[in-house]
Amino acid sequence: MTGEDLRSFGIEPDAPDADEWRALIALARDAGASDEEIRHGVHARRLHVVPVARGLVAGREQLDLRTAASRAGLDDAFADRLWAALGLPADAGSNCSERDLPLFTHFAWLRELLGDDEALQSARAMGVATSQFADAEVAQVRALLEAPVREAGGTNADVAEVLLRLVDAVPRVQAALEVAHRHHIDVAGRRYSLWGSPPKEDSTTDCVVGFADIVGYTPLGEQLDASALDALLRRFEEGVARTATSEGARVVKLLGDEAMFVVGSPAEAAAIACALVSAPDLPELRVGLATGAVLTRGGDVFGSTVNLAARLVELAVPGQVLADPVTAGRLRGLDGVAVTSIGPRHVSGFEHDIEVHALTLDGA
């Protein structure tokens, strides 16, 4: 590569890092990057990720978002709304190719089947799930693969070589996601059948909502270093996944020091909640439970039942499970669970005081 070639990309041939730039440009060109892509990568100081980006999203035929979507029969306005619903920035739409056509074909089919609003709602759910997964993947790569290379004195070219190997793993990830997706569809269908929830056009169902949170998380976050805090959250997340995942239960989301789960029966909800607060390998927890109608939307649940469970966990003391009157009423008389009224409490966001009950497993 001549000095004039380097200057065309904004690099001085006698710069100390000129050889590194030459190696990065060679990698980018091998991946099929255009001179404009290379120039932009140099200017943004991110040329080392251009070969990876090309391997992930580029195809034989480069297309912009609207052109790719139009081949699936989608108009420009819907294509723009779909891209935003997926949580993808507008500038990423310039990186489309023929490899993206199955995405647009799927949503064209879904739009015809369910209408615009529901197709876009499905896109939002997909976007949230895949964005979270992708962010977790990138964070792992940065911490466990890129950081050691840099700490050992590796250059951007060395990092690019490591990252390029990961492109080959994408088909395996896609195959694994397909398997997990099929199993989750099966489990979700059986869960609603187990709950005895009839399908409703307003997407509501009756269930028990639970919130569990780590006691004293804020001061812990100030006391622990990043590694210890990460270990604490891993223990919490693993414990919740182990305890609150069954045929009749689902972890809806993890919010740092808090987890939200839904369960079909109050008895199983009480068992999960009591197991969480008594687990010796988990940080100190507290749990709130409420039973009632919820709106299911985009994989999340909403409504006053959710709000009540979230407020009850705030009232609980360390190691305590608190429940609303509906949950407590359905548990009374059942073997294995002790229900104790602790009296009416003011619950933020609710007009009237609510009779709050503490739950324990008999013999605990």
At residue 126, the pLDDT reads 94
pLDDT tens-digit map of 315-360: 999 999 999 999 999 998 888 899 999 999 999 889 899 999 999 9
Q: pLDDT by residue (tens digit) across 238-295?
A: 999 999 988 889 999 998 899 999 999 999 999 999 999 999 989 999 999 999 999 9
pTM score over 0.75: yes
pLDDT the model gives residue 97: 84
Higher pLDDT, 57 or 118: 118
CB-based contact 323:312 (threshold 8 Å):
yes
Chain center to CA of 187: 19
Distance in angstroms (rounded) separating the CA atoms of residues 133 and 173? 11
8 Å CB contact between 302 and 294: yes
Tens of pLDDT along 94-122? 778 888 999 999 999 999 999 999 999 99
Domain locations in the chain as residue ranges: 3-182, 200-361
Q: Encoding tokens for residue 313?
A: 């966990």
- Quick check: 349 and 307 in contact, CB under 8 A? yes
Mean pLDDT taken over the chain: 89
pLDDT of 1 reads 74
What pLDDT is attached to residue 59? 59
At the topology level of CATH, where does 200-361 sit? Alpha-Beta Plaits (3.30.70)
pLDDT score at 152: 93
**Is a pLDDT exceeding 90 seen at residue 3?**
no
Sorting pLDDT into bands at 50, 70 and 90, what band is 86?
very high
Structure tokens at 291: 């039973």
Residue 333's contacts (CB-CB under 8 Å, 6 or more residues apart) are none
Where residue 361 falls (left for φ over 0; alpha for ψ -120 to 50; beta otherwise) is: beta
Supply 245's token pair.
């995942």
